[in-house]
Each structure stands twice: as structure tokens, then as C-alpha cells.
Structure 1
Amino acid sequence: MRSFFIMMQKLKHFSKDHRVWLRIGLLSFLIFLGLFLYKYVPLVREIWRFGTNPLLLEQTFRHPTLGDILLLVVLTALMTAIPFMSSSVIALVNGVILGATFGFAINWLGALLGNILVATIIAHTDLAHVRGRTDKHTQWLSHFKNHFLSLTLGYMIPFVPSFLVNDRAVVWKTPKKQVICAILLGTAPSNLIYAFGGNALFKWNFNDLLWLALILGVLLGVYLIVRHVTGKKDKNVT
């Protein structure tokens, strides 16, 4: 929800063309979200009525159709693509519905497609007037001489908007193969955490949830340390 309000505040900084793309993305997201709710809300109500019977849960959620899988892939890709919207919720849901392994695969594919879509749109539009307001959020990535490493770290940290990392990839004119590899490597850890986290919620395995929360904490710690170190370098330069 917080990401949604941030996105609305940032929207005014975009040009008319960019706002059109964002509105198309939001409309598409709402349509697919409506389909998702139409499919699963009645099932959740049934579970609420009859209790969390493991067999009922297994029969309800762990037998998705091809249409269900495509719906989840599109939702994941759209939530990844829309600026300042977090895909963590749908990534957890994928773990609940599809299980850890298959949920991870869908998260990974959705993240790849969503980031490629954003990078493609950015490459064909002019975001110069926006970059002045957003550069501070990704400035720390510029301290690494290896752009592939910078992008991989940017995609890896869940707390960094992937929209801004994709913008860096376009600005640096990074080859497409490197961008795809950076997306796959960078998004793997968080998507794995979310998928296994969703599966742990499904099975009420609190030990796994604690471990996954610890790993997320480590990623946050790495992000804060890197930001702190690069911030010191900026002050020394000035």
C-alpha cells in the first residue's frame, strides 16, 4: 500500500507519454487482479468456513490449471514492471498456491519478463527530466566499476525499486545479454525467499519463516552497509 502512494506521488514527475504507459500498466494490473480475485476469493471463503484442513488446502491450491499459471506469471510481471509497486505480495502468493519450487520458477519468470518490459519502454522514451529526482536512489550503484555487478546487486536488493535499476541499465547502455543475466542472478535470491516463504505459510512452518526473515534481514544489512560506504565516498569527493 505504501508503494502505491509513493507511486502516485511520483506520477506527476513523468511526462504525458509516460503517464499513458503507467495507466495502461495499472489498468492491465487491475484487470488481471480482478481475474485472480474472481478465481481464488471464493476458495478462500470455503476454507474459512470449513477450517484449515490440510487435505482441503492441498486440493484447493496445489492443482493450478495452465490458465492459473499464466495469470500468476502476468500478475507477477506487471507488479514488477509498474514503477514503485512491490511484487513481494504476489511472489508470496505464488509460493502459497504453487509450492516452493514451482512458485520460485513463476516468480523468476515474472521478474524477468517485467524487468525486460520496463527496460524496453525506458530505452524508447526520454526520462531525463525524471532522472534528476531519482538518481539519488541509485547513485550508490555507480561506485562499482563493473556495471554488470552493479545491476546484479541492484536487482538483488528487494528494497531498491527495479524500475530505477532498469533505468541505470539503459543509461549505461549495458548489452541485453548482460542485463538478462543480471536480472536472473539478481532476482533469484529474493524470489526464492518469497516462494519458500509462501510455502512455509501454507504449511505453517514457522522455523522456515524465521530463517527466511533472517536472510531478508541480511540482504537489508548489505544494502545499508553499501549505501553507507558509498555515501562516505561521496562526502569525501565533495
Structure 2
Amino acid sequence: MSIFTGVCYGPLFGFLISWCGDILGNCLVRIVIDKSKISTKTRENRVYRYLLRQRYPILVLATAFAVPIIPNLITNYASLRLKISKSYYLAAVALGTLPITFLYAYSGHAISALKFKQLIPLVIIFLLLCCLYLVIKLGVKRVRKYRHRRKN
């Protein structure tokens, strides 16, 4: 949807519209999840269990919102189970959805305007975000490995 708003409203307004929509949409999903029952299939999800085990849940939730392949339903449900306050949840959603919404809105505008040179910085930003995700993931593994060695 962010790509479409970038095409229709330009990069800046398309980004702002999509970002606000992402924040409000995730808040609405969290409210619906809180009022309904979630199936056991969702609770058995590997990503969901991973989110619940983290030491810094707000950082992990923000990262999960930034990664498009992680379903927001699972991330929102994990935020409820972690009993994250509404203000911290809102911060995690705002920070997590910001980079990917930015990339989608600006790339949608660049593609529609046939300005392929504008896509180069966006691809670089996207690759940097992927590297950041990998660094965080590897850092978490190292910390776990270190703690496991310390216990033994």
C-alpha cells in the first residue's frame, strides 16, 4: 500500500500517509487481538516464541515491525503477551514501521516517475537495514552462547 501512496501523493506525503496508516492499523490489530482468542497454531509459531524469549522486547518488536516477512499479527500478539505498555508499544510500532514505509513510498514514487537513479540510495538503505537485522540476530546468538558457556 505504501508504494501506491508514494505513486499517488508523492514521496513525502505518501510516506506520511502510509506511516500513519501503519501505526493506526497495528494499533487496531492489537485491540482486536486483545478482544479475541488466538488459535494455538499462532502460539506455536517459531517467530512468536522467539519474540517472547528476548531480553529487550521493545527493540526486538521494533525490528520485527521493520522486517516485512514477519507477520504483524504475530508481532502484535507477542506485544500483548509481553505486557508492553501502550506508550512503549506505540514507540516500537512507529520506529519499526518508519524505515520500511519510507523505502516503499519513495521507491513507488521513483518507479512511477521513472527516476531509477533515485532507487540506488533506497536499495543501499534497504541493504543496510538487512545488514543491521543480521548483526542484531548474530549478536543475540553470541550473547546466548556466552551465557550458556558461563552457566557451565
Tell me by how many angstroms 1:159 deviates.
3.0
Q: 1:231, 1:140 → 2: CA distance?
A: 12
Structure 1 residues 106, 201: closer, same or farther in 2, change over 3 A?
Answer: same
Alignment of 1:76-87 (within 5 A): none
In structure 1, what is the Cα distance between the partners aligned to 2:56 and 2:29? 22
Match of 1:121 in 2: 32
Greater gyration radius: 1
Residues 1:107 and 2:21 are matched in the alignment: no
C-alpha displacement at 1:172, in angstroms? 0.6
Task: From 77, 97, 111, give the equivalent of 2:8.
Answer: 97
TM-score scaled by length of structure 2? 0.82
Aligned counterpart for 1:130 among listed residues 17, 38, 41 = 41
Q: Show the counterpart of 1:207.
A: 117
**Which amino acid is the alignment partner of residue 106 of structure 2?**
F
Take 2:90 and 2:135, find their aligned partners in 1: how far apart are those partners?
A: 26
**Number of residue pairs the alignment of both structures matches:** 148
Distance 2:119 2:84 in 1: 36
Whole-angstrom CA distance in 1 between matches of 2:68 and 2:85: 23
| In structure 1, distance between residues paired with 2:6 and 2:71 | 22
Unaligned runs of 5+ in 1: 1-89
Between 1:151-160 and 1:113-122, the stretch displaced more is: 151-160
The 5 A counterparts of 1:81-230 are 90-127=1-38, 129-134=40-45, 136-142=46-52, 144-230=54-140
Q: CA offset at residue 165 of structure 1? A: 1.2
Question: Are the aligned partners of 1:118 and 1:166 in contact in 2 as well (CA < 8 Å)?
Answer: yes
Calculate the aligned-residue CA RMSD, in Å. 2.5
AA matched with 1:203: A
8 Å Cα contact 1:108/1:191 also seen in 2: yes
Which SS does the other structure have where 2:44 is aligned?
Answer: helix
216-225 vs 102-111, which deviates more? 216-225
Of structures 1 and 2, the one scoring higher in RCO (CA 8 A, sep 6+) is 2
